[in-house]
Structure 1
Amino acid sequence: MPFNIQRGLFKLDITDHYAILGLPVTVESKAIRKRYLKIAQSLHPDTSKVANDQERQLASEILSKWVNPAYEMLKGKGRNEYQLVLSQTGKRLASEGGKINVDSEVAQKLLQASSNIDAAYQTIVQALAAKQYDEVGKIAEIVGQLSEVNLVYLLRKQGQGVREASASAPSGGSTPTTGGKPAPAATRSAPPPAPDRKTSPVDGCVRRAQEYIAKNNYSKAILELRDGLKLDPNSSSCHGLMGWAYLKQNQVSMAKVHIAKALQSNPNDPIAQKGQKALAQLGQKITPAQSSSSSSSSSSDSKGNKPKSGGGGMFGGLFGGKKK
């Protein structure tokens, strides 16, 4: 890696591919290639306008070790999984109280914005991206700023989703009104703080597993999740992520077991639901009742033995994953 950035998502050990390409995390797929081509032209040795050989070499490294991998991740099927990791990261930070440290003025501005978060976010990213690759020596600084902005946006949007869900739940009270009509947003009370809950003993395992999955290191993710299940055998997050990791390794039988267990613990678990849809595309149906079956498979899995795959060839064709 040309630079060692410890800001934004990078500080959480998540490579921020969007920041590298100067794109918002909400960007449409068709805009990714257009942005990549523009950056590649400015960095490629044959077309770059850098002043000397040293900068030309650095520009070439940034292109090959940063920009190209970011484009490969965001243009393919891996983007959906990467997006899920970012979403879960935002939710985790929101549930922990939303306390993050950002250095850049633009990230602090977004963190304090009271309205129009999406518009403010888009404006900031566009302004930074416009000058991102003008000078090779300033690329790392701008990527760091962009990653801080992305982190703040994920936190604000995921935190907003948590608060909206909480506000929509029946409470026995009435919605604040003005003359019989719902009060305007500006006059409503501030959103409630993040739920006051104790940190689950499996949170660390889930977080580390998510980071390994983002790097396509499914074997290590599974090891982390096994440790998590020792602490909480009924954790839907652990079972859901483990099912997804097994899917990516073409181990469909084990994936079905863990996804079913995740759905039994929490039918609304987003990762388990995603895995269930992926299995459906393979013609594999699961029901929560299956979570009580295949106990021998789970037992052998805990010992590290490799279970049999159910339909690896078809799954490989669908996801294009490779075994680690």
Structure 2
Amino acid sequence: MTTDAHDHASVRELLGAWAVHALPPDEQRLVPAHLADCEECAAEAERLRTTVRHLDGPAPTAPAATAPAATGPAEPSPGSHPMNQILARALARRPPVPRTGPHAEPYAAAVAALQALLVELAESGLPWGTPVIHDWSVQDTVAHLVAADEHLAVHLGLPANEPPAPAPVAGDRWRTAWATRTQRVIAHERARPPHATVATWREQAAALLATPAAHDGEQAARAATLLGVRLPVADHFLVRAFETWIHADDIGRALDRPVPPPPAAHLWRLVRLAVRILGLALGPQAPTVALTVTDAGRTTEWIVGAEGEPVRAELVLDSLDFCLLIGGRATPDAVPRSTGGDEHAARAVLDQAARLAWL
């Protein structure tokens, strides 16, 4: 160990707050370099992170009344364990998560999950240039989210980012304009350090979650046409949640850091939105199909396609698989599903779902 005693003592005092991402940026940068050089602190940091994961999980059930009495020394209660006391103090330093209306909660959760992943990336020294998807690196993917969130941000009165954004495009040309904009933002961010790109995305996301429309259901009910689809602003927040989760998952897979799916209640809201958009995209001339989406707690059936026509096929998908198909991360050929009736009609729904992705 080559670190000096002063640095060792200083960093050790920060480990509890570091484990729960509660350090300010200047202190945050001190920890990873020290851990790379100090086995003792690295082991302590791993113990703290493991404890955080346990604390974030479900509470343990109470022991049965018939359990035999312990014969050895009593274990300290979880709250009295020194490590948990350190974590409790660290959690008290962490700024409160901003509260939003229910319609913006999935986006807030997706932003928090991606932030945690990016902090881990920075602390672990993993390369920001790791290929993620398309021809994008990790930094490029975050820059893409800067450009993607900008549509809703500008609509809600927030300033556009650099480079200056062009005037909005009407009609069917939005895909071309959107591709050009995201390429320009990515090129701009490649000239900046990765942490600056992350800061730009994080600040824009925080500003979005601070807008009145993120809190006021009446304002969120107003419709807006963004990225080629007219939806209430509340649903545009869900679109942002969907894309943020998809790209967090992309980054996690590229870095071998698995990202959990959204909480079940949030995932189901994404499913319902995706079904509505899919129904609009299929139009009234499409074959009528009974689409059933399931998860561990519920099963819901929708009829999509032509109204008043007999159902020609049944299509059943898991909620997560359905969202990955809509998000362009599963293909109609490979997505797990069960079908009945007219296979061509079911395939038409799968193909249209896959074509919705622009992520």
Same fold per superposition (TM over 0.5):
no
What TM-score, normalized by structure 2, do the two folds share? 0.27
Higher relative contact order, chain-length normalized (CA < 8 Å, sep 6+): 1
Larger relative strand fraction: 2
Q: Larger radius of gyration, structure 1 or 2?
A: 2
Larger relative helix fraction: 1
What TM-score, normalized by structure 1, do the two folds share? 0.29
